[in-house]
Amino acid sequence: MDNLKPLKIIKIGGNVIDDAAALSSFLNLFSSIEGPKILVHGGGKSATALAQQTGLEVQMVDGRRITDAATLELITMVYAGKINKTIVAQLQALDCNALGFTGADANTITSIKRPVSSIDYGFVGDVKNVETSILEVLLNQGVSPVFCAITHDDNGQLLNTNADTIASELAIAFATKFNVELYYCFEKKGVLKNINDDDSVLQTITKSSYKKLLDAQLIFSGMLPKLNNCFHALDHKVSKVCIGKPEMLLDSKAIFTTLTIL
């Protein structure tokens, strides 16, 4: 993989998106990264806040949102509209040419509606296919794709799709063509052993140590799908996966969590 061109795929979420100063700082950092790069953003907290303002009930199970028709309409406006276009506009101001995407745009990410089992997640999509050809053209032209957490089913239906999963599946799809590094950036230094201690960063998590953390019930809620996506990416030839504050992208002294197979 050493002879492959590097590609950084960076997912941003958490309080960074909801804090204008933190988002501005991150986008300055992102724009300064050399070489091909893709940004994936969440927006769940903004969507939750708007849902509460409009009286729409928010339902979460294991860190994942239950998406009925009204919720899908709201998150499409928030994710694909306000957040995505604000990020793209701010990147343009930083001389970082960017183009906003849902999975429906250029048919880049197709999903299937999650089957109903013990839980009906509603209009939630599980990624089925990632089409990289258009994205490769953009990357080779110096354009950075900016993905929100919306995909489609190839039959006209938009689907809410976990942003961590989108980042992971994009990384996997590019892993045979680029030397892909996947970064999950949020407001914490990394995965914490003690959720109440911001300095209790687990700097390395292996597959075996992850199982022990789960057995000890030290990993909860939204971190579960994130870590599952990390190991899924590593299992499919993604060269590096890290979790932490955005500073880890350029600061060699930054403390963060690195995920490894062994």
Residue 40 has pLDDT above 80, yes or no: yes
**Confidence at residue 166, expressed as pLDDT on a 0 to 100 scale:** 97
**Confidence at residue 2, expressed as pLDDT on a 0 to 100 scale:** 62
Residue 156 CB partners (closer than 8 Å, separation 6+): none
Residue 241 has pLDDT above 70, yes or no: yes
DSSP string, 99-110: EEE-TTGGG-EE
**Confidence at residue 261, expressed as pLDDT on a 0 to 100 scale:** 87
**Confidence at residue 262, expressed as pLDDT on a 0 to 100 scale:** 78
Separation of alpha carbons 157 and 197, rounded Å = 42
DSSP string, 59-123: -EETTEE-B-HHHHHHHIIIIIIIIHHHHHHHHHHTT--EEEE-TTGGG-EEEEEPPPSSS--BS
pLDDT in tens, 106-128: 999 999 999 998 889 999 999 99
pLDDT in tens, 46-59: 888 888 898 888 88
Separation of alpha carbons 20 and 46, rounded Å = 12
Q: Is the dihedral of CA 71, 159, 19, 244 positive or negative?
A: positive
The encoded tokens of residue 126 equal 């599980």
Query: Across residues 184-212, what is the average pLDDT?
Result: 91
% of the chain exceeding 90 in pLDDT: 73
Which range (1-5, 166-170, 194-198, 204-208) has the least confidence? 1-5
Contact present, 66 and 196 (Cβ < 8 Å) = no
**Max Cα-Cα span within the chain:** 53
pLDDT in tens, 50-84: 888 988 888 887 667 789 999 999 999 999 999 99
**Confidence at residue 150, expressed as pLDDT on a 0 to 100 scale:** 98
End-to-end CA distance of the chain: 19
**Confidence at residue 252, expressed as pLDDT on a 0 to 100 scale:** 86
The domain segmentation of the chain, as residue ranges, is 6-259
Residue 183 has pLDDT above 60, yes or no: yes
pLDDT in tens, 144-170: 999 999 999 999 999 999 999 999 999
Residue 237 has pLDDT above 70, yes or no: yes
Residue 139 has pLDDT above 70, yes or no: yes
Output the CA–CA distances (angstroms, integers) from residue 160 to 86, 122, 131, 164, in the order listed.
Answer: 20, 9, 18, 12
**Would residue 116 be called left, alpha or beta, if left means φ above 0 and alpha means ψ between -120 and 50 degrees?**
beta
Q: Which CATH superfamily is domain 6-259 in?
A: Acetylglutamate kinase-like (3.40.1160.10)
Separation of alpha carbons 31 and 152, rounded Å = 28
Output the average pLDDT for the chain: 93
